Amino acid sequence: MDKTAEKKDSIFSKLSRVSGTGALLPLLIIIIFLSIFTKSFLTTSNIMQVLRQAAVYSIMATGMTFVIITGGIDLSQGSVLALCCVTSAFTINSTGNMWLGIIVAILTGAVVGLVNGVVVAYIKIPAFIMTLGSLYVVRGLTLYITNSTQVAVQHDKFKVIGQGFLFNIPIPVYIFLIVGAIAYIILEHTATGRYIFAIGSNEATTRLSGVKVERNIIKAYLFSGICVALAAVVYLSRLSAAQPTAGQSYELEAIAAVVIGGTSIAGGEGGIFGTLVGAVIIAIIRNGLVLLGVGSFFTQIVVGLIIVGAVSLDVIRRRLAMNK
Amino acid sequence: MDKTAEKKDSIFSKLSRVSGTGALLPLLIIIIFLSIFTKSFLTTSNIMQVLRQAAVYSIMATGMTFVIITGGIDLSQGSVLALCCVTSAFTINSTGNMWLGIIVAILTGAVVGLVNGVVVAYIKIPAFIMTLGSLYVVRGLTLYITNSTQVAVQHDKFKVIGQGFLFNIPIPVYIFLIVGAIAYIILEHTATGRYIFAIGSNEATTRLSGVKVERNIIKAYLFSGICVALAAVVYLSRLSAAQPTAGQSYELEAIAAVVIGGTSIAGGEGGIFGTLVGAVIIAIIRNGLVLLGVGSFFTQIVVGLIIVGAVSLDVIRRRLAMNK
Amino acid sequence: MKNQDKPTPIVEFKGICKAFLGVKALDNVSLKINKGEVHCILGENGAGKSTLMKILTGVYTADEGDIFINGNQVDICDIRQAQELNIGTVFQENSLIPHLTVAENIFLTREIKNSIGLMDWNSMNKECIEWGRKLGVNLDPSITVNKLSVAEQQIIEIVKMFSRNPHIVILDEPTSALSDSEIENLFRIVKEMQKQGVTFIYISHRMDEIKTIGNSATVLRDGQYIATIDNIKEIETEKIISYIVGRPLDEQFPGREAEIGEVIFEVKNLSVPKVLDNINLQLRRGEVLGFSGLMGSGRTETAKAIFGALKRSEGSIYMYGEEIDIKGPHDAIKHGISYLPEDRKEEGLFLEKDISWNVVFSSLHKMKRTNLLDMKEEKRVVEKYKTQLDIRTPSIRQVTKYLSGGNQQKVVFAKWLYAETDVYIFDEPTRGIDVGAKSEIYNIINDLVTCGNAVIVISSELPEILGICDRIAVFHEGTIATTLDRTGATQEKIMHYAMGGDISG
Amino acid sequence: DSGSKEGPSQEEAPDVVEGDNELETDEGDAGGEKTIAFVPKQLGNPFFVAIKDAMEEEAGKEGYIFKTNAPDASTEVDKQINIAEAFIEEGVDALVLGPTDATALVDVINSAAEKGIAVFLVDSGADESDYVSYIGTDNYEGGILAAEWMGENVKGQVAIIDGFAGNEATTQRYKGFMDAIEEYPDIEVVTSDYGNGDLSMGMSVAENFLVAYPDLAGIFAVDDMMAIGAGQAVEAAGKKDSVKILGFDGQPDAAEKILEGTLDATIAQKPATMGRITVEFITAFLNGEKVDSFISTGCDIVDISNAELYKEWQ
Ligand SMILES: Nc1ncnc2c1ncn2[C@@H]1O[C@H](COP(=O)(O)OP(=O)(O)OP(=O)(O)O)[C@@H](O)[C@H]1O
Ligand SMILES: Nc1ncnc2c1ncn2[C@@H]1O[C@H](COP(=O)(O)OP(=O)(O)OP(=O)(O)O)[C@@H](O)[C@H]1O
Ligand SMILES: [Mg+2]
Ligand SMILES: [Mg+2]
């Protein structure tokens, strides 16, 4: 009996060491609350819908997690989402090949990510500034190449990515779980992952340890760009149309998901698991507030309070743990 | 003769030590460029107009400078601008007293700034998160209390603040210069100013030097809130109407002005002079591109490039100075 | 002094020059290091020792000059090339990654991977523990290093470096955070590896260590080569010191004539949960009280708890017989207590700010005219302290991060002297400080008590404690084991109590 | 393009009526009231609020439960879909959308219809899909009307302040204006810039126009907010007499400004009418009556002669 107790304890303590479990508590509270106060929240179809709605944000937030862990930030994500949608839509319409469209989206995201990464790593201007610049430049570019009109996608199979189901689970859910899993493995089980944490924790000493800091910073932004491109594919497929104005301020939602998930905005600490939980929390709140019949002004108020509340909870929990 | 040379040198070196002189170079380049390629840029009336357009941003950016120097950020500024406009407009309309309206605006800004500051200082959640939360909450509140309709201001004298002239110079220009001067004196010539720099530079040392860190963090956010309120008064008076949707993403412009002006986004370094130059640069670009007849997509692209370019220039200049 | 018929040196510097912002850190330095030796680099703070090592490891590139390894000219532009040349370094500054675990830090850039390319934690943890055992320490490979004390971190750094099997090892003040037993352990390993043909370059300000471990030495002063000492064990310490400071030094611990007066400061029943238990102490006017003890015995905590930087659960503090309420450092300063922290870079200085800014920072209320700061007064005050403490700098506008360690420490001293408190607590005031500057700091302490102040000095160097204190409080696991008088105290006695020996023994 | 929408939705009508019957049995069981959910582009714009208010009032009179929620901005197409999906999940009886995107909303409209929910569009249309009826203004026609007013009242250089880049409704107004203005050789459109539907930006854009084109004779702002801003810029520049300003929407504030003289005219839409007609249509449809698949609530020119009427949303 004693042994089992020990084992349980160690599993529990292992779990609690996985970054992001702190966000499970607010998630649970919100789920219980909504299950009690609305009749349609806890239905399979609604849950599936919420997860599908969380997909775009959680894929973006996965990329954002990498960048934030290096101590950076990627404010250009929203703009890049629009650009990827547009290039992809153009490609699909002109070639009729959806795979080519997906590849072009990924290339687009990768190029912007690469540029962000190279400037941040080599010129060493703050990520906030570089990606704020990209936010404007990429948005301007997107409006310019579309002449600010939307591009409808003419391709039936392409819709499946965003709208289809497999074993009654929406395909976007698979995509975000797969992207999340890959990101988790990279972060926790490869050398690159360790370097990304190390850079955010202390860049100077990371360099003194012989790590190619620049290269790994670039990798993080590249990954962010690619994640945004994948999010764009899901987004485009769900909407069947690319708006050049899409994604405005979505980077803020991605950042919110990341920090609600327990990743430190100062870098060096955090993880993917928390980010996915964070993205799901946000999606549930938005869904729940509609079901509760709360007006849209209150939605904004509640979203703001939850962001602050979740992070405060995490901060206070850690401080208590420190004093124990 | 030798002595004069020495004196000149020392004035020059003193000037170059004032933070923000780095931004004068891009400003000069832009002014020369626009003077050559447009005929109407370098006219008194246009310059006055640009300065007036810069006023709202530069007052906001002055407050933002304080917060950024402490190592924080205030993303709620845009939302707070709208809230201040609305409360002020309500007050003016119901009491007919413009001074009361101004006081209510300042109180509104101060309250939000205080809340931001207290949470950041005491709960110690990252400023990015706290003010992101306020961004949503304050916006939701503003939409709620106005039912998202604009509030027209019925007061003739009130208009003078935003639209009037004194000695042929627009009144908003005086306001932003006075606010800037006060902020400069606080930052450079008072103990509070030093503490604000110190907190951004090294919080632990600041605390161990006997400074009440929390109190000074709160002061910075409070100042930011009050600056936004003053910007709101100018804004409201200029437009004679309070829109609940006003100011969206103005915080980004304010941040852009601050960093173009050479204040470090990491805190501890910077100054008001640079911020004012930064705000003027942005206003000139927006004006200049219209005069050049360049489409507005390009405006976004150019603003993005200037943000990155100005900061890169500054970073590279410092690096070269280091190696000398 | 040099021998021509010796084999080719393993490391040779020829005409190395390096300047920062116009400051010549190294000026035409040439020296040779032979295989299998422990070669010490000696010099004052700012002599250029660390800079020379950073050039060898590729952190900096020399402006001029060449480096030869085994007689071959090499061009080391980054740390990885140094690693490829089997050069291992423990830098003066901590170079661990705070949020990574011990194992991750030790294996950074040479991770062990399993067959599918993922990290093999088990092997790394095992190897980690093994290396720890070899060096005589118990390692928990999965704890993050930010949870470790400075001393423990220093040990991890040493393990990390040795685990790479280097041929040339640079140790830049490796012992500044270590306790005596840990230092002994380190020296044992050094000697063992020396037998296997490993060459060491060793930097320290502690003369006793240099005598114990070193074979030969090179002295630098103001970035210039001064002398090479071929056999360090045979030369007197005074001679070495005179090479280092450029003049004979009269006495290491200058005497003083302070009159010890009444009790002005008292601490009763001070406790901090899990760290400190019932600390009581008294301090008299004109007295220097030493805190001695092992690493982690709670000396710093005691100081911080008194100063209000650490929350105490119990305890009262009295100044001139009256109880004072200290809620934070600002209260402590207001009541006349100051604290000079042990980590000057993280807690003592604003590295990005200039000397002047740092010196006046704690006392801005003193230089106010109306509500604005009086810049002229600032300049006058800072110039005064610059002269008084002999802070070596081109200008009081110099950014402190560019000062040498000793001069940085003097800036922090100036800051607290200007605060003009009655009780001063100095935590490791001479850590990483050269012999010349050390005796200057002792002089400052003497001046303070002569003027009727009282001083607490926390130090891990027993000779220093014995040399400058009137009484010595010996700490053991968060309590004061005993308080010894200067006259009756010896190194052995202090160690006995510090290790938890009972009072009667 | 309204014509192309009529065909398909009439064909689909029987389907929807079937679904409707189902719902009525539901209602009978529950014994409760019917629910109308309204998802506009956003609620940060008084125009949409006017539709909402009228709809809410009318729905209250008719005994419906009225729910509304909207994205934070009209660019957030996916959020609008998310909200619509939540209402569908909840099983409302009628869903009223103000589509943020004509193409993207098609699938939601169809899936709602599939579940027997009656979908109505207001203000902006959508591509071919199973909605019951579209109640709105033809923005392109409105643009033509604007060009006609400009052609008749102004001679010389004209500048345009456009809305948010990519906004379908304002783009249609712009296009209608540009296509029709060709007919008036006296008018030269010299420039256009985006004012993002924002009063202050409209003002700044106008200020810059006035400097760049000193001989400017007219400004067409594609919504009233920007027109009010432009009016203030012109007034401040002392060019009230030489520059004519035309807005679009027919806001009460704009009517005030016309009476004050800072604005010259605006093209009025009728959001309140849209809201009321929508509820009437819902009632009719749920009672099994046939309703038109497109109703244009029409545009009027508002100037000093009739501005008094428009001090309330029409
Ligand atoms: N990165 C840098 N930028 C500017 N100056 C520097 C830099 N690093 C060192 N210096 C200067 O170069 C000189 C030599 O410094 P160095 O660190 O090599 O001294 P040191 O002999 O190691 O001293 P210590 O015993 O205090 O460690 C000093 O004057 C120092 O201020
Ligand atoms: N931030 C911290 N987090 C956790 N433990 C800490 C922290 N700081 C100190 N400790 C622990 O508290 C104990 C006493 O601290 P500390 O080492 O500072 O005492 P000290 O007697 O002053 O020794 P030193 O000579 O290292 O200054 C040690 O066991 C140390 O590991
Ligand atoms: Mg050194
Ligand atoms: Mg200590």
**C432-483 pLDDT, tens digit each:** 777 778 888 888 898 888 888 899 999 888 888 888 888 999 988 888 888 8
Atom 1 of ligand 2 has which residue's CA nearest to it? Answer: C147
The model's pLDDT over C192-243, given as tens digits with 9 standing for 90+, comes to 888 888 899 999 888 888 888 888 999 998 888 888 888 888 888 888 888 8
Distance D163 CA to ligand 4 centre (A): 64
Provide the domain count of chain A.
1
Q: Which residues of chain C does A205 touch, with a Cβ-Cβ cutoff of 8 Å?
A: 93-97
What residue type is A155 in one-letter code? H
The Cα-based distances of B126 to A200, B65, B119, C415 in angstroms read 16, 17, 9, 31
Asked if B44 has any chain D CB less than 8 Å from its own CB, the reply is no
Q: Do D208 and B291 touch (CB under 8 A)?
A: yes
Per-residue pLDDT averaged across B218-239, rounded? Answer: 93
The preferred substitution site among C153, C301, C479, C494 for testing ligand 2, maximizing ligand atoms within 8 Å of CB, is C301
The CB density around residue B317, as the number of other CB atoms within 10 Å, is: 13
Residue D17 has pLDDT above 60, yes or no: no
What pTM was computed for the model? 0.83
| CA-based nearest residue to A199, from C132, C504, C97, D41 | C97
Is the pLDDT higher at A227 or at A20?
A: A227
Classified as helix, coil or strand, B241 is strand
CB-nearest to A301 from B125, B137, B252 is B137
* Token digits of residue C231: 């056999």
Q: What residues flank ligand 1, with Cβ below 6 Å?
A: C 20-21, 23, 25, 43, 45-51, 92, 402-406, 434
- For residue B7, being part of any structural domain is answered with no
- Percent with pLDDT over 90 in chain C: 10
- For residue B3, being part of any structural domain is answered with no
Distance C213 CA to ligand 4 centre (A): 26
Per-residue pLDDT averaged across D48-53, rounded? Answer: 88
| CA-based nearest residue to C411, from C343, C376, C454, C360 | C360
CB-nearest to A287 from D73, D76, D82 is D82
| Gap between the Cα atoms of D21 and D24, Å rounded | 5
Q: Are D84 and D108 in contact (CB under 8 A)?
A: yes
Buried b (16+ CB within 10 A) or exposed e, C284-314: bbbbbbbbbbbbbbbbbbbbbbbbbbeebee
Atom 22 of ligand 1 has which residue's CA nearest to it? Answer: C50
Q: Do C332 and B201 touch (CB under 8 A)?
A: no
What residue type is A311 in one-letter code? V
pLDDT (0 to 100) of residue A164? 81
Mean pLDDT of chain C: 85
Buried b (16+ CB within 10 A) or exposed e, D243-264: bbbbbbbbbbbbbbbbeeebbb
DSSP strand E in C308-357: where?
A: 314-319, 322-324, 337-340
What residue type is A121 in one-letter code? A
Is the pLDDT higher at B250 or at A147?
A: B250
| Gap between the Cα atoms of C272 and C307, Å rounded | 13
CB-nearest to D69 from A38, A249, A295 is A295
What residue type is C223 in one-letter code? G
| Gap between the Cα atoms of A303 and A323, Å rounded | 30
Residue D92 has pLDDT above 60, yes or no: yes
Torsions phi, psi for D130 (to 5 deg) = -90, 40
Q: Which residues of chain B does A125 touch, with a Cβ-Cβ cutoff of 8 Å?
A: 308, 311-312, 315
- pLDDT category, A17, cuts 50, 70, 90? low
- For residue A12, being part of any structural domain is answered with no
Among the atoms of ligand 2, which is closest to the Cα of residue C293?
A: 21
The model's pLDDT over A246-278, given as tens digits with 9 standing for 90+, comes to 888 889 889 989 988 888 888 888 889 999 999
- For residue B106, being part of any structural domain is answered with yes
- For residue B62, being part of any structural domain is answered with yes
Rounded to the nearest angstrom, the minimum Cα separation between C380 and chain A is 37
Length of chain B: 324
Domain that holds residue A74: 23-30+38-323
Q: Which residues of D touch A (CB under 8 A)?
A: 43, 67-73, 75-79, 81-83, 85-87, 89-91, 101-104, 106-107, 127, 164-168, 171
pLDDT (0 to 100) of residue B253? 87
CA A214 to chain centre: 23
Classified as helix, coil or strand, A166 is strand
In chain B, which residue's Cα lies nearest the Cα of D227?
A: B239
- For residue B18, being part of any structural domain is answered with no
Q: Which residues of B touch A (CB under 8 A)?
A: 119, 123-126, 128-130, 132-141, 143-144, 148, 249, 252, 255-256, 259, 264-266, 295, 297-301, 303-305, 307-308, 311-312, 315-316
| CA-based nearest residue to D119, from D167, D81, D78 | D81
| Gap between the Cα atoms of D207 and D234, Å rounded | 7
The model's pLDDT over A64-111, given as tens digits with 9 standing for 90+, comes to 999 999 999 999 999 999 999 999 999 998 998 889 999 999 999 999
Classified as helix, coil or strand, C289 is strand
Residue B255 has pLDDT above 60, yes or no: yes
Residue C97 has pLDDT above 50, yes or no: yes
The Cα-based distances of B198 to B184, C327, C348, C361, C445 in angstroms read 16, 21, 12, 9, 28
CATH number for the domain including A87?
Answer: 1.10.3470
- pLDDT category, C248, cuts 50, 70, 90? low
Classified as helix, coil or strand, D223 is coil
CA B122 to chain centre: 25
| Gap between the Cα atoms of C166 and C248, Å rounded | 38
ipTM: 0.80
- pLDDT category, C399, cuts 50, 70, 90? confident
DSSP strand E in A97-193: where?
A: 151-152, 165-166, 169-170
The model's pLDDT over D136-169, given as tens digits with 9 standing for 90+, comes to 888 888 899 999 999 888 888 999 998 877 677 8
The preferred substitution site among C404, C409, C430, C438 for testing ligand 1, maximizing ligand atoms within 8 Å of CB, is C404
Per-residue pLDDT averaged across D2-6, rounded? Answer: 36
pLDDT (0 to 100) of residue A91? 92
